Amino acid sequence: VITQLNMVLQRVVNKSKYVIQRRFCHSEYLSSNDIRKRFLDFFVKEHSHTYIRSSPVVPLHDRSLAFVNAGMNQFKEVFLNKVLPPSPSAANSQKCIRVGGKHNDLKDVGFDTYHHTFFEMLGNWSFGNYFKKEACELAWKLLTSSPYSIDPRRLYVTYFSGCNRLGLPPDLETKEIWLSLGVDPAHILGFGVTDNFWEMGRSGPCGACTEIHVDHLGGRCAADRVNRGHADLTELWNIVFIQYNRNEDGSLSSLPCHHVDTGMGFERLVAFLQNKSSNYDTDLFLPLFNTISKVTKAAPFCGKFGVEDTGGIDTAYRILADHSRMVTVAVADNMFPDLNHKLRRVLRKALLVAEDSFKMKNPAKLVKEVSNSVAEILSPTYSEIGTNLKKVHLVVDHEWEVLQIVRGGAAATWRSVVQQDPRVAQLSDCLAPGLTTAYRELSSLPPHSPVAADLAFRLYDTHGLPLDLIEELSQALSEPGI
């Protein structure tokens, strides 16, 4: 029996270099759709939450965001006490995109196991209904009971350890709640403001949070690895207790109504429950890789990283699949490249990867084929993706035509810059308007000089260069930033 079990494990073993041992095996396979459905059923059907559809990734009435980047975005006005909540408690799976600003995952996509431009965030909310005790109880019950059945010994929880500067005491109430739920005291850890105090912005609602982290290996005490950036012990779920308001003068005052705001990365949860150590090895991405391989006749995806990824082909697989997901979702939600330079950058990167790494004479064809597979996977949950798929194809074709026209002169000019200065060879968008002008301006600065705000604004306003690309270019040139 043991020999047969080992044979089964060997067949399903993840090929990522980060795998050291298997975590656990479920008696039955859980698909990504099963996992999402279980989350929503748990809160909506079993615990009387109202299901709220995902908002579009195009922010509504919020100019501070290029894209919706968290599940709480559509409830921001509720937390600010400007509108009434839709119900006492709610749950959903929110489409999110992070490609700039404070939450910018673009430069890491394809080079590790878990960064994405588009992802889903599972969340549950209480608007003045339940608070700390119920929020912790619900989260713990869902994770440790069937069908998720995560071994509690693999879970670590954190709480806010207080801050003398803010005059806030430790959140010992939350610590006691976790103890009452049977969490091992050695697995309950206190952290400060950086890790366990959430704020919407410089002012507005805020509060302490408690996080649930998962050990991907098990069979050890790994408390010293929590919040240390290790790939084998990662944050799974963040539960925020919104009970304060940050005033304009920086002081804190108590809110009359307390809320709960939680967020759990769907792709990360799926990877763990499917016994994978890379999000890219799950059923959310493998069908996309199969499509790429089928269309291009490229070698199959092997899940390799770094020096083991000969020729960077697996990295190219991950970038193309990720970017095609983001483009498909964004365009289906009526965001277009002419209105958002970040979407244009991601789409152009997908087209260039299809052309350079997969040798496609018409890279738009490959991106469209991958978008078809994206729609097959996500349309059962987000029907607008399937409904608007033709629109996605039209945008991809148009952007490829525009790219061919634009890059004739811009690409040749930039190639000559790269030959002279290889430091800038890895910039994320070599076709951005004003890039060569910005390079000349920044490279003429004295060594290690910061980029003056007026220069950065001129490059943005006059030459059309995105702010995050100005920052990326300044870092490549070893300048300290803006």
Reported as a single tens digit per residue, the pLDDT across 201-232 is 777 889 999 999 999 999 999 999 999 989 89
* Longest Cα–Cα distance in the chain: 71
Query: Cα(35)–Cα(24) distance, rounded to whole angstroms?
Result: 16
Q: Is residue 268 part of a domain?
A: yes
Same domain, yes or no: 178 and 302: no
Same domain, 111 and 196: yes
Q: Are residues 265 and 351 in the same domain?
A: no
- Residue 279 inside a domain? The answer is no
- Token digits of residue 448: 């290690």
Do the strands 204-215 and 99-100 form a parallel or antiparallel pair, or are they unpaired? unpaired
Q: Which domain holds residue 124?
A: 32-274
Q: How many CA atoms lie within 13 A of 167 on its CB side?
A: 6
Q: Which of 355, 378, 405 is the last residue of a domain?
A: 405
Q: Residue 87: CB partners within 8 Å, gap ≥ 6?
A: 49, 50, 52, 127
d(CA 73, CA 89): 16
For the beta carbon of residue 252, count every other beta carbon within 10 angstroms. Answer: 15
Quick check: 192 and 161 in contact, CB under 8 A? yes
CA 111 to chain centre: 14
> How many Å apart are CA 321 and CA 303, to the nearest integer?
13
Q: What is d(CA 271, CA 284) in angstroms, rounded to the nearest whole number?
A: 9
Query: Do the domain assignments include residue 22?
Result: no
Closest CA to 207 of 244, 237, 171: 244
Give the other-Cβ count within 10 Å of 197's Cβ: 22
Q: Are residues 254 and 304 in the same domain?
A: no
pLDDT for the residue 197:
95
Q: Two tokens at 144? A: 């440790």
Same domain for 304 and 236, yes or no, is: no
* Long-range pairs, 362-366, Cβ under 8 A, ≥24: 362/400, 363/400, 364/396, 364/397, 364/399, 364/400, 365/295, 366/292, 366/295, 366/296, 366/320
Read off the amino acid at residue 124. N
Sequence-distant (6+) residues with CB within 8 A of 213 are 155, 156, 157, 158, 226, 227, 233, 234, 235, 236
Q: What is the pLDDT of residues 305-325, one digit of tens each?
A: 999 999 999 999 999 999 999
Distance between CA atoms of residues 445 and 138, nearest Å: 55
Domain contains 443: yes
Between CA 329 and CA 40 the distance in angstroms is: 21
Do 428 and 401 fall into the same domain? no
For CA atoms 221, 223, 228, 234, the dihedral sign is: positive
The answer on 44 and 69 residing in a single domain is yes
Structure tokens at 296: 């291009």
109 domain-assigned: yes
Say yes or no: 153 and 239 in one domain. Answer: yes
Q: What is the pTM of this model?
A: 0.84
Is residue 281 included in any domain, yes or no?
no
Domain total of the chain: 3
Residue that finishes a domain, picked among 376, 405, 434: 405
47 lies in the same domain as 183: yes
In-domain check, residue 290: no
Residue 224 forms part of a structural domain: yes
| Residue 78 CA: distances (Å) to CA of 68, 134, 196 | 16, 20, 22
Distance CA 215, CA 236 (A): 10
Do both 80 and 218 map to the same domain? Answer: yes
Give the separation between CA 409 and CA 388, rounded to whole angstroms: 34
Taking 70 as the pLDDT cut, the residues of the chain under it are: 1-28, 100-105, 408-409, 433, 463-464, 479-482
From first CA to last CA, the distance across the chain in angstroms is: 62
Q: Same domain for 144 and 193? A: yes
